[in-house]
Amino acid sequence: MLKKVALSDNIFWVGVNDRHTERFENYMPIPHGVSYNAYLIEDEKNTVIDTVEVGFVEEYILKIKSILGEKQVDYLIVNHVEPDHSGSIKRLLCEYPQMRIVGNAKTIPMLQGFYGIGDHCIAMEEGATLSTGKHTLQFFTVPMVHWPESMVTYETSQQILFSNDAFGSFGALDGGVFDDETRFEFYEEEMRRYYSNIVGKYGVQVQKAMAKLNGVSINTIAPSHGPVWRENIAKVIQLYDRWSKCEAEEGVVIIYGTMYGNTARMADVIARSVAEEGIRNIRVFDVSKTHSSYLISEIWKYKGVILGSCAYNGVIYPPMGSLLKQLLLLMPKNRLLGLFGSMSWGGGGVRNLDEFAENIKWEVVAPSVEIKHAAQSEDEERLAEIGKAMAGAVRL
């Protein structure tokens, strides 16, 4: 018999942990794994909230049956149709063929498109409620947080917000399902990386969703990934508020692209000048070594961003070019920018960085510096000026 993990009387976590997938969405590294959270309300009408990635469906169904035994699942709430949350629906329907699927008007066409499911479905209006017996569920749409059909489900008696991907985090649940059973600092870092790369583009929509839920009393936030929040609710809401407004901490992120080390040495000169001005939060990264999801997370955290690139066949170094494209897609706001780079003859790295600066519209703190061949002492003085200017600009 599996041990039950209860959020409250008759409400249970029936999620799973994925520690073998290397990249989330086949893109972002997840060295600490990820959880796919789902929940079960045992009541007159037994109700499951979300499913899990299909590779874990048997463990998921085993957990449901360990609580319900031979009883039926009457409702499945689909907060989000992305396959890491909906992938097990068809298998669950095979187990419980009378089950009704609850979503909203945008959910049902997606279920038809992904899984050929058109029957069994109930579309709920904004703010509508569903009684399962002793529990009442209320539904709120949160479009583009981060898909158009996204919604959240609120259980009124225990004041539990089943928040979909909002407030979610990378990182498997290593024994501790609830935040007061874990180390908050780890999940804060992984929650910011999750937010900045997946939800961050939709800050305006996040603000609208938070305003919609502003009057709702919340005792527990139960997201689709990461820990269930019951102790640090105010803190995670505050973090989401800050991140969705692109507010940042005092600090500088320096990211460079280099082939033979000359641009890397330039980055170290700049970093040293920032430190000499009293800034303590300084992060320096090689764009070829560190995955962009971590770089974007750091940019979401700190106010100052300094980018450097060598030239490569007359254009920018390809890994740096890829990062710039991602930043222009996500469009974080209110950052301060410094630029530098190197070339051997025709250039191209700094020229493309300057073009990026025009497009992203961050404040540039100092003129960009491009150095031919390797930096000399007089060049290092110009580089140091970028660091000094950035330190003065980011100081809060």
Which element (helix H / strand E) includes 58? Answer: helix 57-68
CA distance 35 to 190: 12
pLDDT tens-digit series, residues 99-116: 999 999 999 999 999 999
**ω into 120 cis (within 30 of 0):** no
- pLDDT of 232 strictly over 90: yes
pLDDT value at residue 3: 84
pLDDT tens-digit series, residues 140-163: 999 999 999 999 999 999 999 999
Identify whether the C-beta of residue 302 lies closer than 8 Å to the C-beta of residue 393. no
Query: CA angle 64-68-72, nearest 5°?
Result: 95
Confidence of residue 120 (pLDDT cuts 50, 70, 90): confident
pLDDT tens-digit series, residues 161-212: 999 999 999 999 999 999 999 999 999 999 999 999 999 999 999 999 999 9
Nearest CA to 366 out of 357, 377, 376, 375 is that of 357
pLDDT tens-digit series, residues 362-388: 999 999 999 999 888 889 999 999 999
Query: Nearest 10 degrees: CA dihedral of 220, 19, 184, 176?
Result: 60
Confidence of residue 119 (pLDDT cuts 50, 70, 90): confident
CA distance 57 to 53: 7
- pLDDT of 40 strictly over 70: yes
Residue 95, amino acid: E
pLDDT value at residue 37: 98
CA distance 77 to 358: 45
pLDDT value at residue 341: 97
Query: CA angle 389-274-337, nearest 5°?
Result: 50
- pLDDT of 22 strictly over 80: yes
* Averaged pLDDT, 75-100: 97
